[in-house]
Amino acid sequence: MRRFVIPALLVAALAGAGVLGYQSLLSTQKAPAVSYVLLNGQKLDSTNWQGKVMLVNFWATSCTTCVHEMPQIIATHEKFKQRGFDTLAVAMSYDPPAYVSTFAETRQLPFSVAIDNTGEIARQFGDVRLTPTTVLINKQGEIVKRFVGEPDFAALHALIEKLLAQG
């Protein structure tokens, strides 16, 4: 009989962990409070995001998927910017600042671009290491969705519409 108790306890513990893990996926996570410096030297922080739907895109000039998706990030920003939506592109710490600046200039990026020199912004957002990683934040400052890799932009736009319609 005892030989069945330990496996039964193990199964119960794993099942409990699975349920708890599932519940934590359902709960909302507050976006971290971060400070950052834009390419123009302006110092800002995440308090500027209050009341907005924010798209925070971690990217690098050396990331082919990031470069490929950037026109759609631009189009998304342009489509929703008049309705309380904003975008912050965060260049990874390993990306040479001169490359980031040239990329932003030549592509005429219409949104804020920050260089995460120390990697602190990436750490605050869950230790982001893979690019592109895109985080969508609602008006209450909660992380609603995290995309690793290029998002399905039609689904992203539908979610942004829904978030903008919320109070």
CATH number of residue 85's parent domain: 3.40.30.10
Range of the domain at 48: 29-165
- Domain for residue 58, yes or no? yes
Q: Structural domain tally of the chain?
A: 1
Whole-number Å distance between alpha carbons of 117 and 115: 6
- Domain for residue 23, yes or no? no
pLDDT of residue 25: 40
pLDDT of residue 13: 38
pLDDT of residue 5: 41
Low-confidence ranges of the chain (pLDDT < 50): 2, 4-26
pLDDT of residue 22: 31
pLDDT of residue 28: 72
- Domain for residue 119, yes or no? yes
- Domain for residue 90, yes or no? yes
- Domain for residue 143, yes or no? yes
- Domain for residue 14, yes or no? no
- Domain for residue 103, yes or no? yes
